[in-house]
Structure 1
Amino acid sequence: MPTSSPAASRGLLRLRDFRLLLAGAAAGQVGAQVTLVALPLVAVLELRAPAFQVGLLTAAETAAFLLIGLPAGAWVDRMRKRALMIRADVVRCAAMASVPLAALAGVLTMAQLYLVALVTGAATVFFDVAHQSYLPQLLPRERLVAGNGALETVRSSAQVAGPGLGGGLVQAVGAHLAIVADAVGYAVSALFLLAIRTPEDKPAPVPGSSVRKDVAEGLRFVFGSPLLRVIAAATGLGNFFSAMLLATQTVFLVRVLELRPGAVGLMLSASAVGGLAGALCAGRLARRLGQARLIWLSCLVTGPFAVLWPLAGKGAAAVLFAVASAVVFFGAVVYNVAQVSFRQMLCPPRLLGRMNATLRFLMWGTLPLGAVVGGTVADAFGARAALWVCAAGFLLVPLPLLLSRLRGMRDLPDAESEPVDEAPAASGATR
Structure 2
Amino acid sequence: MSVTFRTAANGPLGMRDFRLLLAGAAAAQFGAHVALVALPLVAVLELDASAFQIGLLTAAETAAFLVIGLPAGAWVDRLRKVPLMIRADVARAVAMASVPVAGVADVLTMAQLYAVALVTGVATVFFDVAHQSFLPHLLPRDQLVRGNGALETVRSSAQVTGPGLGGGLVQLLGAHLAVVADAVGYALSALCLWRIKQPEPRPEPVPGASLRADIGEGLRFVLGRPLLRAIAVATGLGNFFTALLMATQTVFLVRVLGLEPAAVGLVLSAAAVGGLAGALAAGALAARWGQARVIWLSPLATGPFALLWPLSEGVGGAALFALGSGVVFFGAVVYNVAQVSFRQVLCPPHLLGRMNATLRFLMWGTLPLGALAGGVLADGFGARAALLCCAAGFLVVPLPLLLSALRGMRDLPTGPEAVRPAAPDTDAADATAAGAEAGAGRRDRTTSPG
TM, length-normalised to structure 2: 0.91
1:141-156 aligned at under 5 Å gives the runs: 141-156=141-156
Q: Distance in 2 between matches of 1:422 and 1:383?
A: 43
Q: Distance in 1 between matches of 2:323 and 2:354?
A: 37
Name the structure 2 match of 1:20: 20
1:111-130 aligned at under 5 Å gives the runs: 111-130=111-130
User: 1:158: how far off?
Assistant: 1.2
Q: Distance in 2 between matches of 1:304 and 1:227?
A: 24
Name the structure 1 match of 2:41: 41
User: 1:422: how far off?
Assistant: 7.4
User: 1:10: how far off?
Assistant: 5.1
Name the structure 2 match of 1:335: 335
1:256-285 per-residue CA deviation (whole Å, 9 max, x = no partner) reads 000000000001100110000011010110
User: 1:317: how far off?
Assistant: 2.6
1:312-391 aligned at under 5 Å gives the runs: 312-391=312-391
Q: Distance in 1 between matches of 2:368 and 2:382?
A: 19
SS of the equivalent of 1:418 reads helix
SS of the equivalent of 1:313 reads coil
SS of the equivalent of 2:327 reads helix
Gaps of at least 5 residues in structure 2 are 1-7, 424-450
1:276-306 per-residue CA deviation (whole Å, 9 max, x = no partner) reads 0011010110011000000000010000000
Name the structure 2 match of 1:426: none
Change (3 A) 1:229 1:9: farther
1:357-405 per-residue CA deviation (whole Å, 9 max, x = no partner) reads 0000000000000000000000000000000000000000000000011
**Aligned-partner residue type, residue 40 of structure 2:** P
User: Could you tell me whether the CA contact under 8 Å between 1:220 and 1:422 is conserved in 2?
Assistant: no
**Aligned-partner residue type, residue 200 of structure 2:** E
Q: Distance in 1 between matches of 2:135 and 2:326?
A: 27
Name the structure 1 match of 2:434: none
TM, length-normalised to structure 1: 0.95
Q: After the TM superposition, which of the residue ranges 308-317 and 354-363 deviates more from structure 2?
A: 308-317
User: Could you tell me whether the CA contact under 8 Å between 2:346 and 2:419 is conserved in 1?
Assistant: no
Q: Distance in 1 between matches of 2:23 and 2:97?
A: 21
Q: Distance in 1 between matches of 2:309 and 2:123?
A: 31
Q: Distance in 1 between matches of 2:62 and 2:12?
A: 32
Q: Distance in 2 between matches of 1:411 and 1:218?
A: 25
Q: Distance in 1 between matches of 2:82 and 2:356?
A: 16
1:237-316 aligned at under 5 Å gives the runs: 237-316=237-316
Name the structure 1 match of 2:97: 97
Q: Distance in 2 between matches of 1:74 and 1:169?
A: 40
Q: How many residues align?
A: 416
Name the structure 2 match of 1:176: 176
Name the structure 2 match of 1:162: 162
Change (3 A) 1:96 1:198: same
SS of the equivalent of 2:394 reads helix
Q: Distance in 1 between matches of 2:418 and 2:124?
A: 31
Change (3 A) 1:255 1:395: same
Name the structure 2 match of 1:407: 407
1:325-382 per-residue CA deviation (whole Å, 9 max, x = no partner) reads 1000000000000000000000000000000000000000000000000000000000
User: Could you tell me whether the CA contact under 8 Å between 2:88 and 2:127 is conserved in 1?
Assistant: yes
User: Could you tell me whether the CA contact under 8 Å between 1:347 and 1:415 is conserved in 2?
Assistant: no
User: 1:416: how far off?
Assistant: 1.1
Q: Distance in 2 between matches of 1:119 and 1:235?
A: 24
Q: Distance in 2 between matches of 1:422 and 1:401?
A: 17
User: Could you tell me whether the CA contact under 8 Å between 1:9 and 1:150 is conserved in 2?
Assistant: no
Q: Distance in 1 between matches of 2:317 and 2:254?
A: 15
Q: Distance in 1 between matches of 2:21 and 2:273?
A: 22
1:217-273 per-residue CA deviation (whole Å, 9 max, x = no partner) reads 000000011100000000000000000000000000000000000000001100110
Name the structure 1 match of 2:79: 79
SS of the equivalent of 1:414 reads coil
SS of the equivalent of 2:27 reads helix
1:201-220 per-residue CA deviation (whole Å, 9 max, x = no partner) reads 01000000011110000000
User: Could you tell me whether the CA contact under 8 Å between 1:278 and 1:334 is conserved in 2?
Assistant: yes
Name the structure 2 match of 1:428: none
Q: Distance in 2 between matches of 1:317 and 1:241?
A: 21
1:15-38 per-residue CA deviation (whole Å, 9 max, x = no partner) reads 111111111100000000000000
Q: Distance in 2 between matches of 1:33 and 1:72?
A: 24
Change (3 A) 1:119 1:71: same
Name the structure 2 match of 1:221: 221
Q: Distance in 2 between matches of 1:223 and 1:396?
A: 21
Change (3 A) 1:90 1:82: same
User: 1:421: how far off?
Assistant: 2.2
Name the structure 2 match of 1:11: 11
Name the structure 2 match of 1:3: none
Q: Distance in 1 between matches of 2:338 and 2:145?
A: 7
SS of the equivalent of 1:315 reads coil
1:146-166 per-residue CA deviation (whole Å, 9 max, x = no partner) reads 110111011111111100010
Q: Distance in 1 between matches of 2:421 and 2:168?
A: 52
